[in-house]
Amino acid sequence: MPEPTAPPTPPIALAALLARADLGLRQIAGPADASIRWVHTSEMADPYPYLLGGELLMTAGVQLADPELYVSRVVAAGAAALGFGLAPVYDSVPAALVEACARHGLPLLEVPPRTTFSGVARAVWLLMARAREDELRRVSEAQRALAAGASRSDPVGSVLRVLAARLGGWAALVTPVGSVLDAAGGEPQGAALEGVRGLVRVVAPPAESPHPAPDHAPQTPEGPKAQALTATDTLGGTHLAAYALAGPRVLALATPHRAPGDHTIAGVAAVLLTLLTAERQGADEAARSAALVRLLLGGTPEEAGPLLGEGPWVVVHARGQGAPPDLGTPLVDAGEEHVRALVPADREVTAHPGWTLGVSAPAGLEGLAVADAQAARALERAEATRAPFARHRPAGFGALMNPEEAAAYALHMLAPLSDPLRTTLRTWLSLHGSWDRSAVALGVHRNTVRQRIGRAAALLGVDLDDMDVRTELWLALRSAESHSGHRE
C-alpha cells in the first residue's frame, strides 16, 4: 500500500491519548509506542479500502466475524491502533480480538461505554493542535537563535553551535570529500560517521573522484544513486541528514532523535550557512541575499522590499514534475514537486506543460501573505478541476463588508472547527459540494471528506443543504482567511 499523504499536523503519541483520564481508555494489547495521525470510525467487515494509514480505527464490532482476518487487514492497511467500544454489541473485548492484535503487533484500546467515538476523535485533534503549536513555537525560537548566531563575530561556528544545541546532536560544515571545516556537538562514531559521509556524497558528489552512494543511501526521484538537495537516513538509532549548500559545501547532521520541526530548523540553518559561505555573488544575487538576511534578522517586508525591486507582484504556486517552470523571475522557491515564485505583476504568467499553476491577484509588499494564500487556493482549484492554470477570483460582494466586523463575526462562527475541518469545509464549498473533487483537492478518500463535513455540520449546528447557510459559511471562511493573512 503506498504511503499516505500526511496531514498538516504532527502525529501524537498513543501514550498522550491514553493519559487523558476523562476518556478512560485502556490499552489491552500491542506495543505502547505507536503514533496516531488521524481517527476513523468504521463498522465495515473489511475497512481496508477506506483507510489511509496511521489511523486510530474505532469500531464497536458490529460485523466482527473473524477477528484474525479483520486485524490482519487493518494492519495491512497501515492503521496505527484499534479502538474497540464496549456496548451495545459486546460487554467486553473479545478474547480472540485481543490475541490477534497481540500477534500482529497492533495496539488495542478498550473504549468504555461512557466515552463516545467522537469524543476520542476530538481529543486527538486537540492534542494534534497543541503539538502543532508547540512545534511552531520551537521552530520560531530556533530561527531567532540562528539569526542571532549569524550576526556574531564567528557566524558559521555560532550557527552550527546553535543548531547542534537545538537539535541535540552534531552539526558540521563539510566538503564533498568529507573534510570537516567546522563543527559543533559530539561527533558520531563508527557506522553513523560512515553514514554521514555517504549522505554527503549523495547530495554533493566530489567532481574529481566520484564515489558510489552506499547501499543504505536514500532513494531520490531519479534513482538511488542520483544527486539530491537533501538526504536522510537512520543507522543504529542515530538520525542522519545532509543539506547541499553553495560552494560546494554540505551541512551534515547526526542526532539521537528526529522531532517535528527539525527539518525546518535545519533548512533555516542551511540558508544562513549558504549566505555566509558563498564566495562570489552578482549584484542581483547579493541584493536578494541581503533581503533574506534582513528578514531572518527580524526585519519587515517593507524594509527588505527595496532590495528586491519595484512592485506590485503576483505570487505563483506550481506543482508538477521535472524541471521547474521558467516564470521569468529569479525570486523562486523550488522544491522537488512544488514551486513558489514572486513575479512582477506586469509580466505575463502562462501555463507550462507538466505543471499546474495558481496565480494570485497583484499585491504590494504588505499584501504578499494574502497573495500567497490566494495563489495556493487557485492552485487547489486548478488541480481539482484538472485545469493547467487558474487565477485568483475577486471577492465580489464579500468586499462590500466591513473587514474587521466580518472577521470578528467569522472567527466567532467558526470557533468550534479545527483547522482540518475548516480546510475541508472551505474546499468542499468552493467545489460546490462535490465529494470526489474535494477528495482530489485534499488528497484524502471521499469518505474522509464526508466524515469531516458531517462533523463540521454537527459542531456548527447547521444544515449544509441550505444554500443560505453555505453562502454565509463561505463568506465567513473568506473573511477569517483575509483577516489572518494565511491559509486556514
Within a domain: residue 226? yes
For residues 158 and 267, state if they share a domain.
yes
For residues 384 and 402, state if they share a domain.
no
Within a domain: residue 295? no
Last residue in a domain, options 222, 253, 277: 277
Look at residue 209 in the predicted model and tell me its pLDDT: 43
Give me the amino acid identity at 380.
Answer: E
Using 50, 70 and 90 to split pLDDT, how confident is the model at 61? very high
- State the CB neighbour count (10 A cutoff) for residue 326: 8
d(Cα 421, Cα 384) in Å, to the nearest integer? 18
Look at residue 28 in the predicted model and tell me its pLDDT: 96
Last residue in a domain, options 221, 251, 277: 277
Look at residue 481 in the predicted model and tell me its pLDDT: 75
Within a domain: residue 292? no
For residues 388 and 401, state if they share a domain.
no
Write down the residue that cell numbers 554533493 correspond to: 204
Using 50, 70 and 90 to split pLDDT, how confident is the model at 396? low
d(Cα 262, Cα 87) in Å, to the nearest integer? 43
φ and ψ at residue 252, rounded to 5 degrees: -110, 140
For residues 364 and 265, state if they share a domain.
no
Give the CATH number for residue 467.
Answer: 1.10.10.2840
CA dist 266 → 165, 174, 255, 474 (Å): 12, 15, 12, 38
Within a domain: residue 207? yes
Query: Is residue 1's pLDDT more than 50?
Result: no
What is the per-residue DSSP string for 428-468? HHHTTT-HHHHHHHHTS-HHHHHHHHHHHHHHHT--TT-HH
What is the per-residue DSSP string for 265-333? HHHHHHHHHHHHH-----HHHHHHHHHHHHHHTT--HHHHHHHH-S--EEEEEEEESSSPP--S-S-EE
More confident residue, 476 or 86: 86
Using 50, 70 and 90 to split pLDDT, how confident is the model at 131? confident
CA dist 116 → 19, 46, 84, 403 (Å): 17, 22, 11, 39
Using 50, 70 and 90 to split pLDDT, how confident is the model at 359? very high
Q: What cell does 247 get? A: 560552494
Look at residue 310 in the predicted model and tell me its pLDDT: 58
Give me the amino acid identity at 281.
Answer: Q
For residues 28 and 93, state if they share a domain.
yes
Handedness of CA 300, 305, 311, 317 (dihedral sign): negative
Instruction: Name the nearest CA neighbour of 441 among 395, 394, 487, 393.
Output: 487
Contact 478, 398 (CB under 8 A): yes
Burial class of 99 by CB neighbour count within 10 A (0 to 12, 13 to 18, 19+): middle
For residue range 214-224, list pLDDT tens digits in order. Answer: 444 444 433 33
For residues 173 and 263, state if they share a domain.
yes
For residues 382 and 406, state if they share a domain.
no
- Tell me what percent of the residues of the chain surpass a pLDDT of 90: 31
For residues 476 and 429, state if they share a domain.
yes
d(Cα 360, Cα 377) in Å, to the nearest integer? 9
For residues 344 and 366, state if they share a domain.
yes
Look at residue 297 in the predicted model and tell me its pLDDT: 60
Average pLDDT, stretch 407-429?
Answer: 87
Look at residue 17 in the predicted model and tell me its pLDDT: 94
Within a domain: residue 2? no
Look at residue 303 in the predicted model and tell me its pLDDT: 63
| Overall number of domains in the chain | 4
Using 50, 70 and 90 to split pLDDT, how confident is the model at 95? very high
Strands 108-111 and 81-85: parallel
| Count of alpha carbons within 13 angstroms of residue 131, beta-carbon side | 21
Tell me which residue range forms the domain holding 164: 152-277
For residues 419 and 444, state if they share a domain.
yes
Beta bridge partners of 40: 57
